[in-house]
């Protein structure tokens, strides 16, 4: 019983982070109708940026937790956002009128470039960050106990805060309105005077900043990472996006949480070696039985 | 075409350059400039300065170039390019036909003139030719992006090793069996996914390749995990190519030759060459058969195909399965050539390499794939000091090819047909 | 089975989310007729077409196609949702699963119904002949073995396919363009090629979605006579959506008028011309425009 509860706590925090990354997939899919294969690697870059930021800040003698975390978040989000912009500019915009296959291959190429570039720059070995926030809440249940670290609480808080801010931007601001209009009908939006190229760039940047948020949180919690982490987590976040209904923002968050919870339960109860296999099988099963996901609208083919 | 200010605007070029410089500083500054070392770091200012200056110089050059008359003409050609598909005249015969017999003859001569080392490199090259041809059917003809091709390759390789260990099956029985197994795996994976948008296939196959590797690594009781497993050599009518044979006479004793480990490579090479030639011929025929035309039509317009009575799922599945079985064949050769397989040979980078072969070589001709496979596998063997940059090069290659020649994957010459009288029945 | 009607549409309903695109549409198409589906913009004509040809799964109602010596339920071959009754009868269950797995709009074509598209869908980077060869996929020799070995029977089947392709090229006056890319043809030629391609599947009924759109008057005249050739020389029933009223009234035997997802009138051209409901629908939809029916 306590194992299950503990896994649920872990799954919830992991799932909220999957949700953050899934937002990048779902928004890009919504606006240009294709999978941004480089997105997982944007997350990977943000892991490195987190460690770099912490190293730089402590070099300048800043040691207190709030300053470090705040500085790291700002630094990582800004730089990762720049990555998002450049990726769109280099690998996607020149292909706006090309076939889908060409864009997909270009995206895969971009993903390879990012992985190998980081590997060359930083070496292939695992990197790490020191533990920043220690301590936990301990809840006794029967014979056992459930431990909720402060870090996990922090992750949940920041993840949901990030999602809340994003929802506000998309629903209430002018930028969000233009995003939604472009998503509905790109041609019409551009006729109405929206610079759709700029909106698509903005969506890539927003997706990258959400991935950066996820990168900071996960890196602080787990400590270790390497240049390959973006691959598996990218597939999982994509699964979350499909599970929630690709193109749907609340769907991405819901899908992330459900995937995190079910994966944690599977790892705790059945096998942790095969938890990646489980998530992937889940993706195939959703695609067979409910390709539109939980909150997505079924796609009507344009004949 | 009325240009008011003819001449080169240096100020705007400089502005572009400064913006590009600042952006590259943000992008490369932290990741390149701060080399992590434990929780500490070393500062690599020179590297950053180098990269940023290259970016700035490049941006400046492009800015100036695009303002020159020649540059404008170049950009115009790029924007309106139509590197058109050409239909050949009926009965057209390529002037390059004589290349085919020459290549076959050279191919047959290689094992007798090349050193053992060269031979092993050429075998590896041919294995990638096979992989490239298999993926070219899937990506090039049918337009389906398969990012887990290495999964089928692994099925073939492990099929041989495990079939030998558990069932005592040798090379010759596993060769067709592995092709069938890979095709069945392709069918199971492809059937549910192929009815959906092409992008889903890409990510599902990406996951599939990774899952195969995870299972091979984790199911230690069956696959021996990361330690790997040995694979048998092919036999010539029961004659083995080992120094000593447990049962029967080995090849060299039978023919009264001194033992030489090159014999087995020569033998593998010759079988492999035959299989590659057969696959090349089949590929050539497929583009002239209803199924090949249906694949290309599906790539062009799926909805129109359905309106003509083509079952789009099954047609795509046939391409996917055929590609997978070619991958399985290549896996068997890989296992027997190495004599040993372990999961580290089947990473995503391997899939990326095969895709890079198809992207680079698929310029409408099958010959392109053959050349690209050799270039991308043999070149890194020779330039080992650049090994770290290999994947980076593949990535840049894919982006540049797609931006520059997105039609690279399409067959650019189509066979013409002589006009007939025409009758309804 | 000498059914008088080739196509029977009963109580067809189609909803997209909350939008009711079609609301109880019922009509029959007589074998060997030229029929037209007309109505103001947004009346639901193309939606009806997409339901008939199996590209949309109708929300309710039935579509029966009587061709090729059997009756086909268009709704059924697309694969319906499981119902409770399926689990009591294994035969029905297996059939349901079969259509769920292998069903789809291609079965509608195989049952004898071909179509063209409002915004032409040719295989633009394949040659004109190849477009017609793809259409004969189901008639071709698809055996992998004989194709790879290039056997005599394979060559014969390919030659027959080519003969058929050139026959249809002649009918639509495109023989001289046979080795051009489909995408290089002019708009009018592309429309004709699309009709030839649909005819290469040997249909008993062909549905043309605005075949005269974008054609000049003389091309439209040629199209009208081609449609008559299809009906008279090839025993093909023709159903078309068209806005060119002159052409519709000229060639149609039977007209169905749609407005707001409902059939407001059906009958011969003369009945339709004088039907007050039809005039009101057109005048109401497009204010100030002179409509001479």
Res B244 pLDDT > 70: no
For residues B298 and B198, what is the distance between their CA atoms, to the nearest angstrom? 11
CB atoms within 10 A of CB A53: 24
Classify residue A294 by burial, with Cβ atoms within 10 Å: 0-12, 13-18, 19+: middle
What pLDDT does residue C287 have?
44
| All domains of chain A in start order, with CATH | 2-289 (1.10.3470)
Selected residue with higher pLDDT from B78 and B9: B9
- Quick one: average pLDDT of C252-281? 86
User: What does residue C267 show for φ and ψ, rounded to 5 degrees?
Assistant: 155, -170
pLDDT at B184: 94
Cα B354 to Cα B366: distance, rounded to the nearest angstrom? 14
Query: Does A201 score more than 60 pLDDT?
Result: yes
**How many domains, chain C?**
1
B425: its two tokens: 């029945």
State how far the Cα of C103 lies from the Cα of A83, in Å rounded to an integer: 45
- The residues facing B240 across adjacent strands are B250
pLDDT of residue B363: 52
> SS3 string of chain C?
CCCCEEEEEEEEEEEECCEEEEEEEEEEEECCCEEEEECCCCCCHHHHHHHHCCCCCCCEEEEEEEECCEEEEHHHHCCCCCCHHHHHCHHHHHHHHHHHHHCCHHHHHHCCEEECCCCCCCCCCCEHHHHHHHHCHHHCCCCHHHHHHCCHHHHHHHHHHHHHHHHHHHHCCCHHHCCCEHHHCCHHHHHHHHHHHHHCCCCCEEEEECCCCCCCHHHHHHHHHHHHHHHHHHCCEEEEECCCHHHHHHHCCEEEEEECCEEEEEECHHHHHHCHHHHHHHHHHCCCCCCCC
Residues from B in contact with C at Cβ < 8 Å: 84-85, 87, 89-90, 281-282, 285-286, 288-291, 293-294, 296-297, 300-301, 303-314, 410, 414, 416-417, 419-425
Spell out the SS3 assignment of B102-124.
HHHHHHHHHHHHCCHHHHHHHHH
- For A172-237, give the DSSP string: HSHHHHHHHHHHH-HHHHHHTT--HHHHHHHHHHHHHHHHHHHHHHHHHHH-EE-TTHHHHHHHHH
Torsion of CA C88, C94, C99, C102, to 10 degrees: 150
Q: Which domain holds residue C279?
A: 1-112+247-293
Q: Give the span between the Cα atoms of B58 and C237, in whole angstroms.
A: 64
User: Which letter does DSSP use for residue B308 in this model?
Assistant: T
Interval C220-253: pLDDT, tens: 888 898 898 888 888 899 999 988 888 888 888 9
The Cβ-side half-sphere exposure at B296, using a 13 Å CA radius, reads 23
| Structure tokens, A35 | 């999978």
Question: What CATH class has B97-407?
Answer: mainly alpha
Kindly state whether residue C170 falls inside one of the protein's structural domains.
no
Q: How many CB pairs under 8 A join B and C?
A: 141
Q: Residue B340 in 3-state DSSP?
A: strand
Residue B1 pLDDT grade (very low, low, confident, very high; cuts 50, 70, 90): very low
Instruction: Average the pLDDT over each of A85-94, C65-74, C231-240 and give the range with the smallest value.
Output: C65-74
- State whether ipTM is beyond 0.90: no
**Nearest CB partner across the interface for B293, out of C55, C125, C134:** C134
Subunits next to A (3 or more Cβ pairs <8 Å) are B, C
Indicate the burial class of A223 (C-beta count within 10 angstroms; 0-12, 13-18, 19 or more): middle
Residue A181 has pLDDT above 90, yes or no: no
- Per-residue pLDDT, averaged over A34-49, amounts to 90
Average the pLDDT over B72-77 and give the result: 73
Q: Are B56 and B385 in contact (CB under 8 A)?
A: no
What is the SS3 assignment for A273?
coil
Question: Cα dihedral angle (B391, B394, B400, B401), rounded to 10 degrees?
Answer: -170
Q: What residues in C contact A297, CB-CB < 8 Å?
A: 17
Q: Mean pLDDT, to the nearest integer, of A171-183? A: 86
- Chain C residues within an 8 Å CB radius of A296: none
Q: What is the percentage of chain C residues whose pLDDT exceeds 70? A: 96
Contact status of A233 with chain B (Cβ, < 8 Å): no
Q: What's C6's domain CATH number?
A: 3.40.50.300
CA distance B402 to chain A (A): 6
The stretches of B301-410 forming alpha helices (DSSP H) are: 302-307, 312-338, 348-361, 366-382, 390-404
Range among B325-334, B335-344, C61-70, C79-88 rated most confident: B325-334
Asked if pLDDT for residue C131 goes beyond 90, the answer is yes
Rounded to an integer, what distance in angstroms lies between the CA atom of residue A2 and that of residue C158?
70
Q: What tokens does A207 get?
A: 């997706």
The count of residues in chain B is 425
C99 touches chain B (CB under 8 A): no
Q: Are strands B229-230 and B86-87 parallel, antiparallel or unpaired?
A: unpaired
Position B181 scores a pLDDT of 93
Q: What is the mean pLDDT of residues B325-346?
A: 91
Asked if the model's pLDDT at residue A177 lies above 50, the reply is yes
CA of C57 to nearest chain A CA: how many angstroms apart? 10
**pLDDT at residue B253 is higher than 50:** yes
Nearest chain B Cα distance for residue C240, angstroms: 16
B91-101 b/e (C-beta count within 10 Å ≥ 16 → b): eeeeeeeeeee
The pLDDT mean for chain B works out to: 82
Mutation for A interface: B353, B403, B404, most A CBs within 10 A: B403
pLDDT of residue B183: 94
Residues of chain A with C-beta less than 8 angstroms from the C-beta of B303: 301, 303
- Shortest Cα distance from B363 to chain C (angstroms)? 15
Residue A301's pLDDT is 64
Q: Show me where the domains of chain B are located.
A: 10-79, 97-407
Least confident interval from A288-302, B71-85, B190-204: B71-85
Cα separation, C283 vs B34, whole angstroms: 73
Mutate to test the interface with C, among B421, B422, B423, B425 (most CBs of C within 10 A): B422
Nearest Cα to Cα of residue B352 among A29, A125, A279, A228: A228
Judged by CB atoms closer than 8 Å, whether chains meet at B290 and C53 is answered as no
Enumerate residues 6+ apart whose C-beta is below 8 A from C157. C140, C141
- The residue of chain A with its CA nearest to that of C49 is A303
CA distance C55 to chain A (A): 7
Q: Is A237 exposed, middle or buried (0-12, 13-18, 19+ CB in 10 A)?
A: buried
Pull the structure tokens for residue C99.
Answer: 């259509």
Half-sphere exposure of A125 (CA within 13 A, CB side): 6
pLDDT value of position B116 = 81
Let me know if residue C290 belongs to a domain.
yes
Residue B174 CB: number of other CB atoms within 10 A? 27
Judged against a pLDDT cut of 50, whether residue C197 lies above it is answered with yes
Convert the pLDDT of each residue in B341-368 to its tens digit: 989 889 888 888 888 888 887 655 677 8
Mean per-residue pLDDT of chain A:
85
Determine, yes or no, domain membership for C184: no
- CB-hemisphere CA count at 13 Å for B365? 10
Q: Which two tokens stand for residue C242?
A: 């068209």
Q: pLDDT at position C1, please?
A: 44
With cut-offs at 50, 70 and 90, classify the pLDDT of residue A273: confident
Residue C3, C-beta contacts closer than 8 angstroms, at least 6 positions apart: C31, C66, C71
As a whole number of angstroms, the distance between CA B334 and CA B134 comes to 15
pLDDT at B323: 93
Q: Is A116–B23 a contact, with Cβ atoms under 8 angstroms apart?
A: no
The Cα B357–Cα B369 span in angstroms is 6
pLDDT mean over B296-323 = 90
Which residue of C44, C52, C55, C58 to mutate against A (max A Cβ within 10 Å)?
A: C55
Element of type H or E holding B229: strand B229-230
Query: Per residue in A55-81, pLDDT tens?
Result: 888 888 777 778 888 888 999 999 999
- Interchain proximity A55–B391, CB inside 8 Å: no
Cβ density class B113-132: b for 16+ within 10 Å, e for less:
ebeeeebbbbbbbbbbbbbb
Classify B27 as helix, strand or coil.
Answer: helix
């Amino acid at each position: 019983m306590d194992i299950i509860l503990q896994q649920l706590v872990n799954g919830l925090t992991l799932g909220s982070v999957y949700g953050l990354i899934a937002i990048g997939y779902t928004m890009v899919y919504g606006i240009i109708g294709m999978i941004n294969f480089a997105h997982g690697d944007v997350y990977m870059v943000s892991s490195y940026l987190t460690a770099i930021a912490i190293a730089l800040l402590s070099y300048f003698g800043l040691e207190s937790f709030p300053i470090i975390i705040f500085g790291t978040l700002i630094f990582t989000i800004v730089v990762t956002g720049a990555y998002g912009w450049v990726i769109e500019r280099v690998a996607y915009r020149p292909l706006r009128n090309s076939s889908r296959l060409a864009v997909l291959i270009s995206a895969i190429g971009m993903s390879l470039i990012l992985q190998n570039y980081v590997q060359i720059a930083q070496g292939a070995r695992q990197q790490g960050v020191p533990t920043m926030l220690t301590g936990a809440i301990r809840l006794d249940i029967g014979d056992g106990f459930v431990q909720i670290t402060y870090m996990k609480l922090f992750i949940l808080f920041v993840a949901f805060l990030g999602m809340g801010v994003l929802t506000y931007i998309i629903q209430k601001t002018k930028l969000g309105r233009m995003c939604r209009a472009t998503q509905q009908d790109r041609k019409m939006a551009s006729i109405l005077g929206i610079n759709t190229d700029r909106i698509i760039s903005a969506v890539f940047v927003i997706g990258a900043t959400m991935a950066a948020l996820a990168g900071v949180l996960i890196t602080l919690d787990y400590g270790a990472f390497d240049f390959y982490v973006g691959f598996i987590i990218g597939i999982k976040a994509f699964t979350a996006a499909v599970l929630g209904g690709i193109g749907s923002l609340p769907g991405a968050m819901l899908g992330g949480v459900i995937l995190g919870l079910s994966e944690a339960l599977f790892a705790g109860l059945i096998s942790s070696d095969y938890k990646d296999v489980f998530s992937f099988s889940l993706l195939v099963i959703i695609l067979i039985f409910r390709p539109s996901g939980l909150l997505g609208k079924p796609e009507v083919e344009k004949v | 075409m009325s240009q008011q200010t003819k001449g080169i605007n240096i100020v705007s070029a400089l502005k572009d350059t400064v913006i590009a410089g600042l952006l590259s500083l943000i992008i490369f500054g932290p990741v390149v400039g701060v080399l992590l070392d434990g929780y500490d770091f070393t500062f690599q200012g020179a590297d950053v300065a180098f990269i940023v200056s290259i970016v700035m110089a490049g941006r400046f050059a492009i800015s100036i170039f695009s303002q020159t008359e020649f540059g404008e003409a170049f950009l115009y050609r790029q924007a309106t390019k139509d590197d058109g598909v050409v239909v050949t005249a009926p009965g057209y015969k390529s002037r390059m036909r004589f290349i085919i017999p020459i290549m076959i003859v050279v191919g047959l001569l290689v094992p007798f003139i090349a050193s053992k080392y060269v031979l092993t490199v050429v075998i590896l090259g041919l294995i990638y030719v096979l992989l490239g041809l298999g993926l070219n059917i899937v990506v090039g003809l049918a337009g389906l992006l398969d990012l887990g091709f290495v999964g089928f390759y692994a099925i073939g390789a492990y099929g041989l090793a495990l079939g030998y260990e558990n069932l005592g099956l040798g090379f010759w029985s596993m060769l067709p069996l592995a092709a069938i197994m890979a095709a069945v795996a392709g069918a199971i994976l492809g059937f549910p996914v192929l009815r959906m948008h092409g992008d889903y296939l890409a990510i599902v196959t990406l996951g599939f390749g990774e899952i195969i590797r995870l299972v091979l690594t984790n199911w230690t009781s069956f696959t021996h995990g990361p330690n790997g497993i040995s694979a048998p050599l092919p036999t010539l009518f029961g004659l083995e190519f080992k120094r000593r044979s447990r049962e029967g006479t080995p090849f060299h004793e039978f023919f009264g030759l001194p033992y030489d480990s090159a014999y087995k490579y020569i033998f593998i090479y010759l079988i492999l060459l035959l299989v590659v030639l057969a696959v090349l011929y089949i590929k050539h025929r497929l583009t002239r058969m209803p199924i090949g035309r249906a694949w290309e039509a599906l790539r062009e317009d799926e909805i129109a195909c359905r309106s003509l009575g083509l079952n789009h799922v099954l047609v795509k599945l046939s391409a996917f399965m055929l590609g997978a079985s070619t991958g399985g064949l290549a896996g068997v050769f890989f296992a027997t050539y190495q004599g040993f397989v372990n999961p580290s040979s089947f990473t995503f980078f391997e899939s990326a390499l095969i895709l890079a072969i198809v992207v680079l070589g698929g310029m409408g001709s099958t010959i392109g794939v053959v050349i690209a496979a050799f270039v991308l596998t043999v070149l890194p063997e020779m330039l080992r000091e650049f090994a770290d940059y290999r994947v980076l090069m593949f990535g840049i290659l894919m982006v540049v090819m797609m931006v520059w020649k997105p039609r690279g994957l399409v067959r650019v010459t189509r066979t013409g047909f002589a006009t007939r009288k025409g009758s309804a029945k | 089975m000498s059914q008088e009607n080739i196509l029977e549409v009963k109580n067809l309903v189609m909803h997209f989310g909350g939008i009711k695109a079609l609301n109880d549409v019922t009509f029959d198409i007589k074998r060997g007729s030229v029929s037209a589906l007309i109505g103001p913009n947004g009346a639901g004509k193309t939606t009806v077409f997409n339901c008939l040809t199996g590209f949309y799964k109708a929300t309710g109602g039935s579509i029966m196609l009587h061709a090729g010596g059997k009756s086909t339920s268009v709704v059924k071959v697309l694969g319906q949702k499981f119902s409770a009754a399926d689990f009591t009868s294994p035969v029905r269950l297996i059939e349901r699963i079969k259509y769920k797995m292998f069903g789809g709009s291609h079965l509608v074509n195989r049952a004898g119904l071909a179509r063209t598209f409002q915004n032409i869908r040719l295989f633009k980077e394949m040659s004109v002949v190849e477009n017609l060869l793809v259409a004969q996929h189901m008639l071709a020799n698809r055996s992998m073995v004989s194709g790879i070995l290039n056997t005599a029977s394979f060559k014969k089947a390919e030659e027959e396919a080519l003969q058929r392709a050139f026959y249809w090229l002649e009918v639509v006056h495109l023989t001289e363009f046979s080795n051009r890319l489909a995408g290089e043809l002019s708009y009018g030629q592309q429309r004709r090629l699309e009709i030839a391609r649909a005819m290469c599947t040997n249909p008993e009924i062909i549905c043309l979605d605005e075949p005269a759109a974008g054609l000049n008057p003389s091309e439209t005249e040629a199209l009208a006579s081609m449609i008559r050739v299809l009906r008279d020389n090839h025993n093909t029933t023709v159903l078309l959506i068209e806005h060119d009223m002159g052409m519709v009234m000229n060639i149609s035997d039977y007209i169905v008028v749609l407005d707001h997802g409902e059939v407001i009138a059906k009958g011969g051209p003369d009945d339709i011309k004088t039907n007050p409901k039809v005039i009101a629908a057109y005048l109401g939809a497009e204010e100030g425009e002179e409509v001479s029916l």
